[in-house]
């Protein structure tokens, strides 16, 4: 293999095309795809070395990033993907394999074969979606890839065992923008092909299965991080996470403040609220840590977005606001322009105001109101069920049997009352168990919670991250459940998996006969919608339409209008980013730093979304046709921290809960989160 000449590069461009073949049935014979028929970037089709199949082979250019990309069809699930190659040099030529733009096998080496006429094979296990998949083999060094003759795709289902968790994660060399992580190897019955370094459920760095250290150089100064590592095998099975390391990056020594926010303006006024928006500041560090909103000289809101709604104002009163920006080192900008606004004289608006504190709890993940006006509340990491009255009186009713933590996002999560609670007394829970996530039900009669639970649906894969966990009964009397992909993104497009879905089940755990894939049988019969990453919020509007909120990966969070059998695109599409053709687009997106949407409630076709990451409540109104929403407004920014659930009260208000310190299994001995009541004008 020699460096490419200009005329050969021109041949390469002219040769680029895609080949699609019919999907083989599960268990069918392997399917061959010739390299010369694939899409080629920085490479050329040649035939000067004997022994190839088809009409030629692809000679990669000697550059990082040169690739061959095959469009293949297959059933959902793992597939053994074999590349026939030749490498006439003594240096190994590593490549990464991606499927639909998602990392599949990282750092796969192709050692020398002795001669360019000596052909060998290398097999990786990739997780494929049902139907069309794009497999790319990309060179990762300046030597380019080996000569590529043919790709063979053989669907298989023989590896379902995940790797063990990586161990002994440690952090060192902590700088203002970087840190180095080391860990001990995971084990697998076949092979570990990659490790993902995670902050929360977001990926910071991916390395191959032979690498046990990684330096992340995209950190922010003066910021606290909690990081873990997960392992993946070639079949796409994800391990549970390693131990967590928590650290704070030091200040960078920067003393230059950001520029002042620009064009502060009012975007909405009610009798008790003013909505504001402004243009972004810039900083020499490259990032803005947040914005502070001032009413006169008093700070009234802290946010990392470019909007805020100030509540609890007096009708027909004039207020003046300014905004300042902060960089990661705490340097504050000059104030923006001032804007003076007068609240209206009255009338009920969609923006709620703070009413009063209800109670202090640990991590109040979900709330459901009883017929007497009191509420049941799930404590995520204490596994307790509380009864809380409107005056704040708390009673611990008991624990849910078998509930365990994942030292992350799992534990005792969703809660729902049976539609026939007055007669059957069933309370439904979504919780993490020893081997899975599951939905169970327990009796609550005469003020007493039972001591045993009855399984309703089991076998939902769990992980430290991406468990989903919200359950609610819909207007149709069916139980809906949000289930995360459990860190295996391929689950979301696999109808045979319960993960990465919104599920719909009968109260007794059977599958409704009108579910979209019920005729398929198996797990698919419970699926209502698919292509979800980590959905958590569910609510219905006045038309009976289902809306759901979903955490994004690293770019966009989503608010979706859910359709029966609808596919929302994950992992090929995140929000509106990626290969989104043919998938249902979200009605609204936010950056993942601004929202982190968890609980959702709808009152008179106003949608309220509790933001965990953004630490604010988002409010928007469904349009008159019921097909979309207006511009969301951020309320209570930074006031109570990470907001988890929002629930309509029987007396016409809202209960809002916070779950701070919830990232690493929480602090269940500390009762420091809140339930507050919001009111409408």
Tell me which residues are annotated as active site.
466
Q: Which residues pair with 449 in a beta bridge?
A: 444
**d(C-alpha 433, C-alpha 302), whole Å:** 37
Six token digits for residue 526: 């419970």
Q: Which residues pair with 473 in a beta bridge?
A: 479
Q: Shortest CA distance to 107 belongs to which of 117, 85, 122?
A: 122
- Tokens 């988002």, residue located: 618
Cβ atoms < 10 Å from Cβ of 246: 11
- Asked if 533 contacts 574 with a C-beta cutoff of 8 angstroms, the reply is yes
Six token digits for residue 406: 């994942």
Cβ atoms < 10 Å from Cβ of 645: 27
**d(C-alpha 633, C-alpha 268), whole Å:** 9
- Asked if 492 contacts 499 with a C-beta cutoff of 8 angstroms, the reply is yes
**What does residue 421 show for φ and ψ, rounded to 5 degrees?**
-55, -35
Please measure the distance between the N-terminal and C-terminal CA atoms of the chain and give it in whole angstroms.
74
In eight-state DSSP terms, residue 650 is T
CB contact set of 113 (below 8 Å; sequence gap of 6+): 85, 86, 87, 88, 119, 120, 146
Six token digits for residue 420: 């026939």
In 3-state terms, what secondary structure has residue 159?
A: coil
Six token digits for residue 507: 């109260």
**d(C-alpha 167, C-alpha 177), whole Å:** 25
Cβ atoms < 10 Å from Cβ of 414: 26
**d(C-alpha 489, C-alpha 460), whole Å:** 14
Six token digits for residue 451: 């001591």
**d(C-alpha 38, C-alpha 196), whole Å:** 29
In 3-state terms, what secondary structure has residue 616?
A: strand
With residue 412 as reference, give the H or E element that holds it.
Answer: strand 412-417
**d(C-alpha 93, C-alpha 363), whole Å:** 50
- Asked if 149 contacts 119 with a C-beta cutoff of 8 angstroms, the reply is yes
- Give the distance from CA 578 to its chain's centroid: 15
**d(C-alpha 16, C-alpha 96), whole Å:** 20
**Total residues found in the chain within this entry:** 681
- Asked if 86 contacts 149 with a C-beta cutoff of 8 angstroms, the reply is yes
**d(C-alpha 624, C-alpha 41), whole Å:** 48
Cβ atoms < 10 Å from Cβ of 633: 22
- Asked if 301 contacts 293 with a C-beta cutoff of 8 angstroms, the reply is yes
CB contact set of 167 (below 8 Å; sequence gap of 6+): 183, 184, 186, 242, 243
Cβ atoms < 10 Å from Cβ of 299: 12
Cβ atoms < 10 Å from Cβ of 510: 12
- Tokens 């993960």, residue located: 499
């Amino acid at each position: 293999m020699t460096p490419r000449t200009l005329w050969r590069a021109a041949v390469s461009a002219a040769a680029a095309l895609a080949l699609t073949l019919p999907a083989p049935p599960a268990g069918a014979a392997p399917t061959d795809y010739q390299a010369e028929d694939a899409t080629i970037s920085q490479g050329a089709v040649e035939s000067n070395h004997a022994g190839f199949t088809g009409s030629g082979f692809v000679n990669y250019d000697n550059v990082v990033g040169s690739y061959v990309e095959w469009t293949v069809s297959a059933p959902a699930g793992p597939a053994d993907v074999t590349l026939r190659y030749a490498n006439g040099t003594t240096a190994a030529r590593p490549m990464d394999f991606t499927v639909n733009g998602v990392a599949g096998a990282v750092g796969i080496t192709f050692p020398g074969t002795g001669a360019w006429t000596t052909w060998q094979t290398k097999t990786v296990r990739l997780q494929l979606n049902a139907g069309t998949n794009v497999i790319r083999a990309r060179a990762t060094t300046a030597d380019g890839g080996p000569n590529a003759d043919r790709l063979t795709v053989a669907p298989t289902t023989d590896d379902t065992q995940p790797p063990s968790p990586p161990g002994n994660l440690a952090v060192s060399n902590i700088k203002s923008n970087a840190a180095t992580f080391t860990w001990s190897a995971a084990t697998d019955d076949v092979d570990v092909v990659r490790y993902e370094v995670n902050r929360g459920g977001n990926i910071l760095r991916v390395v191959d299965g032979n690498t046990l250290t990684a330096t992340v150089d995209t950190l922010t100064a003066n910021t606290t991080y909690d990081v873990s590592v997960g392992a993946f095998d070639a079949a796409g099975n994800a391990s549970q996470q390693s131990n967590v390391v928590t650290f704070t990056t030091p200040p960078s020594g920067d003393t230059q403040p950001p520029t002042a926010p620009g064009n502060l303006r009012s975007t909405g006024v009610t009798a008790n609220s003013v909505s504001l928006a402004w243009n972004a500041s810039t900083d020499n560090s490259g990032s803005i840590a947040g914005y502070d909103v001032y009413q006169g000289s008093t700070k009234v809101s802290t946010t990392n977005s470019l909007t805020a709604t100030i509540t609890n104002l007096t009708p027909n009163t004039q207020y003046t606001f300014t905004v300042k920006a902060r960089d990661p080192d705490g340097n504050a900008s000059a104030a923006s322009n001032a804007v003076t606004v007068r609240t209206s004289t009255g009338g009920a608006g969609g923006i709620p105001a703070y009413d009063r504190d209800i109670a202090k709890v640990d991590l109040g993940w979900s709330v459901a109101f009883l017929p007497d006006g009191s509420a049941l509340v799930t404590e995520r990491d204490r596994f307790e069920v509380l009864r809380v009255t409107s005056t704040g009186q708390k009673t611990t009713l008991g624990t849910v049997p078998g509930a365990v933590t994942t030292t992350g996002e799992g534990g005792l999560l969703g809660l729902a009352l049976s539609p026939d609670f007055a007669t059957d007394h069933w309370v439904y829970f979504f919780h993490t168990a020893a081997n899975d996530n599951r939905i169970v039900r327990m009796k609550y009669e005469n003020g007493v919670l039972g001591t045993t639970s009855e399984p309703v649906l089991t076998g939902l894969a769990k992980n430290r991250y991406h468990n989903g966990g919200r359950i609610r009964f819909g207007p149709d009397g069916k139980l809906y459940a949000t289930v995360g992909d459990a860190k295996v993104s391929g689950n979301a497009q696999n109808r045979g998996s319960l993960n990465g879905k919104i599920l719909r089940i009968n109260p007794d755990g059977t599958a409704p006969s009108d579910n979209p894939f019920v005729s398929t049988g198996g797990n698919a019969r419970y699926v209502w919608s698919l292509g979800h990453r980590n959905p958590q919020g569910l609510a219905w509007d006045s038309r009976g339409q289902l809306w759901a909120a979903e955490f994004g990966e690293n770019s966009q969070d989503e608010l979706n209008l859910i359709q029966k059998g609808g596919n929302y695109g994950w992992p090929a599409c995140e929000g509106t980013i990626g290969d989104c053709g043919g998938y249902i687009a979200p009605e609204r997106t936010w950056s993942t730093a601004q929202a982190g949407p968890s609980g959702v409630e709808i009152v008179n076709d106003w949608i309220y979304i509790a933001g965990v990451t953004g630490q604010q409540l988002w409010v928007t109104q469904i349009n008159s046709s019921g097909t979309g929403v207006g511009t969301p407004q951020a309320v209570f920014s930074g006031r109570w921290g990470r907001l988890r659930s929002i629930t309509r009260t029987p007396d016409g208000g809202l209960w809002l809960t916070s779950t701070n310190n919830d990232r690493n299994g929480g602090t269940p001995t500390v009762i420091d989160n809140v339930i507050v009541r919001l009111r409408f004008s």
